Amino acid sequence: MSGNEALRCDFDSAASASQLLGNHRAGSPFFFASPRGTLLAQGVHSRVAGPATEPGDLPQRVARTLALARKSGHSNPAVVGAIPFDPATPAQLVVARTLHSAGRLSFDRPHQAPEPAAGDCAARMVPEPAEYRRGVETALERIAGGSPAKVVLSRTLELTSDTPISVERLLYNLARHNPQGYSFAVDLPGGRTLIGASPELLVSKSGRQVVANPLAGSAARSADPVEDQRRAEALLASAKDRHEHAVVADAVAAALRPYCRWLDVPAEPSLIQTRTLWHLSTEIRGELTDYATSSLTLASALHPTPAVCGHPTAEARALIGEVETFDRGFFTGMVGWCDAIGDGEWAVTIRCAEVEGHKLRLFAGAGIVAGSTPEKELAETGAKFRTMLNGMGIRHPVETA
């Protein structure tokens, strides 16, 4: 499937992609724009309730929910929404009453400065930079001791605006700032909205065709073209970053292989770019053995990847629970959709924030491996905060690293 092909579904598709973006309002169940197409959910037909009780439980409950929706008269149901990092936490998944689809978003002036989405902001970091550096030191001690081989440690930036934050303006700014990525907004309980612009595809499924695109290893870009190219080449040559990336790509391929009759895994990573960061990237393609395997089954087999948790998963997750001082919620989970025949698309929930009234909570993480340093990992999370703030049209209230 080409990157410009619209989503292959029979949903209501009378509107253009830009109209769907313009029609999104705070409280709308779901908006999702990817290189394949654009979706806007309006109204809730039914919900997928409760957390997973055992591995593999969520795809089965989603399949039952979709079957019941079809039985009740829904002509072409699809589940949309977000799944958290912690599998014991309930997902936010609904069957939309109406799901509008269109082609890929495009903008006449993609590099125009974003309009402000918030007023003057007070800021608080959780944890504070010094505490985050201590957490990285703890992780490096454990890695030197033999396990885990990698762990992803995160921090948050909590902003309070003197005016209400515009969810619609934030989403528009992020979608325009990240046209090659995955822009999303998901309505959460309690009047909150999960909003973001992820660069990373977890997995997509169309018929028998499967695509995953793990990213790991990154470097800040430069406004100077010569320096920017130097940074890109240094990232591609970095033994530390290539090792970090290989851990992720190998784990994704290993998780997909049991479902596929063939799988193409490039031997070397490539570079992709956003407006502010270079990333090491591996695009993995395959063909399913069983057509009925759903995109959510594949996504659940992959989640969480070492790119957002670490490796081995159990040891990394335990260390995250010990070191991180906040609840990740939907950060480093997955966001996307799955229809009644199993087709769908799921992005990794990074470069994201939760919005509620005057409050905005941003998240950023960095992968810690042998050779990492506390200062560099702090700087990486700071660069990711600045990426989000720039894309959202929010003035930096504090230095982020």
Q: What amino acid positions are annotated as catalytic residues?
A: 150, 200
Strand segments, DSSP code E, in 222-380 are 260-264, 270-273, 277-281, 284-288, 310-311, 334-339, 344-348, 352-356, 359-369
Contacts for 327 with CB less than 8 Å, ≥ 6 apart: 86
CA distance 92 to 30: 10
Contacts for 361 with CB less than 8 Å, ≥ 6 apart: 156, 157, 158, 159, 353, 354
CA distance 349 to 277: 17
Whether residue 194 contacts residue 186, with contact meaning beta carbons closer than 8 Å, is answered with yes
CA distance 225 to 4: 28
- Dihedral, CA atoms, 339, 341, 347, 352, nearest 10 degrees? 20
DSSP string, 153-194: EEEEEEEEESS---HHHHHHHHHHH-TTSEEEEEEEGGGEEE
**245 in helix, strand or coil?**
helix
